[in-house]
Structure 1
C-alpha cells in the first residue's frame, strides 16, 4: 500500500502555487495542505508534517522572491528537488453587483499589484491599494468584508472556487510573465543527472573588497558554467554585507560543477547548497567541449601520475 504523503503550499485553493503543485505527478492523490506563508511551508517540511513544500522562488517580471530566498538561506536542512513554471496573469474580481465605476480601493498581494500597474493606471488611475498576504487572501477579504477594498487582483482560478464577478481579465502588464516554483524537501542526495539540470546555492562573500564578487563569479566562468540567476540579498548582521543566490546550469555530479563547488567552498566562509535538480524546461545544458567530464578526469589522472613519479607519455 502506498504511503500517504502531505504537500504544503501557499493556500487556500486557487493560488498559482496550487497550480504549480498540480504539475507534480508524485503529489497527485495525496494530501495537499494549504498554509499561510513560506516560513510555515518550510517548517512543515523540517518538522516532518509534510513530505515536501511548493514555494515561489522567482518571477520573470519582479525577479527573485525575497521571502523565499531569505528563508532558504536561514533554515538549514532543506533541498530543492524540482522546479515548475506557471504562466501568470490576473483578473480583477469583486462581490456580485459591483461595477468597475464603484471601485476605489483594490486589495492585492504586492507582487501581483506590481505586475498590473499599467492596466490600473489606465483604467483606475485614482485607486488606493490595500496589501494582502496572497492573491486568494485579497479576493476572500473583499468577499467577506475583512479587507476594506472594493475589488481584488487574483489568479483566474479563484472563480472556480468562489462566487465572484469578474470586472476585467488579463490585466497583467506582461502577457509572457512566468513564475518559477520549487519543490522543497528535507536534505537528501541529489537525483541522478539528466543532462538538463540546474544547481542552486547561496554564497556569502568573504569580505567587502574590490573584485570580491568577480572572484566568486570566476569560479563558474573558468569552468564554462552559465548562471541563470544571480541575486544579492542582505545578510542582515551589518550594513553592506550581502549573500548571493546563484542558479548555475548543470549538476553536482558533473565534473565541472563539482570542481566549481570546491572552488566556491575554498572562497566563501559560508555556502548553502540548495540542490541539483531537473530544469523545468528540460533544456539540455550546453557547454564548450573543453569542459567535458573526461577532460577533468584526464587532468586529475595526469596530476596523480606526476605525484607518483610516473613517466609522462
Structure 2
C-alpha cells in the first residue's frame, strides 16, 4: 500500500539539499491526507484505575532504583517483568506513545515495559503520580542540540507535590525504519517529526527523496506497520521497530555531532526516600526561585553559590505565571517589566553545608524558593 500525501505542483526549497519536493505546509498536508489521518488522530486517554499503594510496592520501587544505579541503567534490550512483593507491578508513566524515545528511557530505567503507562498529554504523567495510578514517571527535559523542553519545566513548577528523584542521559539513536517487506530501492519518501528530520539533515541532503514532516514519528511507524506501507520510511527510535515489527534500514542516521536526550525520573511527595547507600556518582540539586528585585538581583543570587564553592551547572528562566508583570518603582514614574522564575542546577546534595547555607541566604532575597529535587547525576548510558 502506498502512502498518499498531497503535494503541490510547485517545488520549494526543502532545506534538506537535493530533496525534490516539500508540501507548502508539510504538517497540514499530512494532516489532511486521508491515508495517514489515522497517524495523527489523538486517541482518548483511558481512565486509570485508582489503586491502593502499599509499602511493599514502594519497597520494590526502591529496589529497582538501586539496581538501575548499580548496573548503569542496563541495556534495556531484554527487559524482565517486575512485580512488587505483594504481587503488584511497579507502574511507570512516561510521556508519549508506544515506540517513543521516552518509552525507551522508561525501559532502561526500570527494565520493564510491561508496567509502563503511555501518556498522550504531557501533563498526564504528572497526574498519574498524583492520583497514584503510577509510582514513578519519566519525562524528557532537554536535548543537547535543541535545548530545554520548557513545557515540562512549567509542569514541574505547577505540580508542587511532584519532585525530581533521578536523571537519565541517553544518546540519540535515530533509526531509519521501514516495513519488513520493503527494500531500500522501494523507498520514495521519508517521514518524521521536524526535530528528527533536522537532526538528520546531512544524510537527507544526499538523498533524492521526498521529505514529509509529521506530528508524531512513533504513530507514523505504527501506521506503516499496520497498513503494509512499503514505499515510505520513518526516522524513529529502535524501540519503535521492536514495538511495531519494522526493519531497521540504518541505525544512528543522525548527523555525527554529540546528540543526547536528558530525562528526569519523578516521584510524588511524600514518598519513601531514595536509599542513598547504593547510589554512585555525583549529586545534583535543582532549585526554583523568584527574586524580590527581579533580574537585577540574579548576579547577587548566583554569587551566593559561588562564594560557598557550589558549582552552578545550568540556569533557566520561565515566566512567573503567578505574577507575570513586575512593577519597578523609579524616581519619576513606575514601570512594568516581565517577571521570571529561575531554575538552577547545582552540583551537590541539598544537605551539603554549602548548598544549605546558600539556600538560606537566597531565601532572604527571593519571593519564592523551592527545591525541585536532589538526586544522583545521570551518566551517559
Tell me the TM-score normalized by structure 2: 0.63
1:65 corresponds to: 149
1:202 corresponds to: 288
Give how far 1:62 is off: 1.8
Cα pair distance change 1:11/1:253, threshold 3 Å: same
The alignment partner of 1:253 has SS state of coil
Structure 2 residue 297 is the aligned partner of structure 1 residue 212: yes
Runs of 4+ aligned residues of structure 1 deviating over 6 Å after TM superposition are none
For structure 1, which segment, 36-45 or 162-171, has the greater mean C-alpha deviation from structure 2 after superposition? 162-171
For structure 2, the residue ranges without an aligned partner over 5 or more in a row are 1-55, 57-84, 326-336
Distance 1:223 1:72 in 2: 27
Over the aligned positions, Cα root-mean-square deviation in angstroms equals 3.1
Give how far 1:8 is off: 0.7
Where do 1:68-107 residues align within 5 Å? Answer: 68-95=152-179, 96-97=181-182, 99=184, 102-104=187-189, 106-107=191-192
Structure 2 residue 90 is the aligned partner of structure 1 residue 8: no
Where do 1:188-267 residues align within 5 Å? Answer: 188=270, 191=274, 196-208=282-294, 211-236=296-321, 237-238=324-325, 240-267=338-365
Length, aligned pairs only = 275
Where do 1:93-172 residues align within 5 Å? Answer: 93-95=177-179, 96-97=181-182, 99=184, 102-104=187-189, 106-108=191-193, 110-123=194-207, 127-132=211-216, 135-144=217-226, 150-172=232-254
Distance 2:255 2:292 in 1: 40
For structure 1, which segment, 2-11 or 120-129, has the greater mean C-alpha deviation from structure 2 after superposition? 120-129
Distance 1:241 1:123 in 2: 47
Cα pair distance change 1:73/1:171, threshold 3 Å: same
2:374 is aligned, of 263, 276, 284, to 276
For structure 1, the residue ranges without an aligned partner over 5 or more in a row are 283-313
